[in-house]
Amino acid sequence: MSTIRLTYTSYVVLGLVELAGPSTPYDMKRGVEASIGNFWSFPHTQLYTEPERLAEAGYLTEEREEGGRRRKVYSLTDSGRQALDAWRSDPTGELAELRDPAVLKLFFGAERGPLGRAQLAAHRRKLAEYEELRDAIASTAPPGPLIALECGIEHERMLIRYWSRLAAEA
């Protein structure tokens, strides 16, 4: 049993398994897209390697399905739940970075007009998608995902205002 550094990806995996119960990597993949994947994405291959890492370190157990494809099924251990709890209950003051590719271009002198229009279109689409998603899950989802989705919605609205203003000035 090795010792590893828990990354954000680790917590996403632990959190997903807590939410959904014992999961295969593919279960996780489906759990990620259209939820947490909207604002914290990574390639699906991470969902094969990361649970393995976590299992080696004792945060998950790894079993094989009986019959069929005999896929790997991961479950939370006590140690895993503890790690998740410790992380979750530490009220971090760490801040998100903008890390917006379009703002990066802007910083280095990109033309506002075309960039603004492209961004506006994309952000409007994303906002619509979020609002639809919220309406679809509002009555059934746990509060965490819902409230996070609200943040995503505010984020999109802010950026739509921002790029609108820029595109208008240009």
Partner DNA sequence: ACCGTCATGTAATCGGTTACATGATTCT
Partner DNA sequence: AGAATCATGTAACCGATTACATGACGGT
Which contacts (CB < 8 Å, 24+ apart) does range 116-120 have? Answer: 116/163, 116/164, 116/166, 116/167, 116/170, 117/167, 119/159, 119/163, 120/160, 120/163, 120/164, 120/167
Stretch that binds its own copies, among 22-30, 53-61, 64-72, 105-113 (CB under 8 A): 105-113
Considering beta carbons, is residue 60 or 115 the nearer one to its own copies?
115
**Torsion from C-alpha of 104, 108, 112, 116, nearest 10 degrees:** -10
Is 7 an interacting residue with respect to its own copies (CB under 8 A)? no
Stretch that binds DNA, among 20-28, 108-116, 136-144, 149-157 (CB under 7 A): 20-28
Is 8 an interacting residue with respect to DNA (CB under 7 A)? yes
Is 128 an interacting residue with respect to its own copies (CB under 8 A)? no
Calculate Rg over the CA atoms of the chain.
19
- With CB cut-offs between 5 and 8 Å by kind, which of its own copies, DNA, none does residue 72 bind? DNA
Is 71 an interacting residue with respect to DNA (CB under 7 A)? yes
> Which residue stretches of the chain are H helix?
8-20, 25-32, 46-56, 78-88, 101-107, 112-137, 143-169
Is 49 an interacting residue with respect to DNA (CB under 7 A)? yes
Is 63 an interacting residue with respect to its own copies (CB under 8 A)? no
Considering beta carbons, is residue 46 or 119 the nearer one to its own copies?
119
Bridge-partner residues for 146, per DSSP?
Answer: none
Give dist(CA 18, CA 84) in Å, integer. Answer: 9
Query: What is the distance of C-alpha 170 from the center of its chain?
Result: 34
Considering beta carbons, is residue 40 or 154 the nearer one to DNA?
40
Is 111 an interacting residue with respect to its own copies (CB under 8 A)? yes
**Three-state DSSP state, 70:** coil
Q: Which residues bind its own copies (CB under 8 A)?
A: 8, 11-12, 15, 18-19, 36, 38-41, 84, 87-89, 91-112, 114-115, 117-119, 121-123, 126, 142-145, 147-148, 150-152, 154-155, 158-159, 161-162, 166
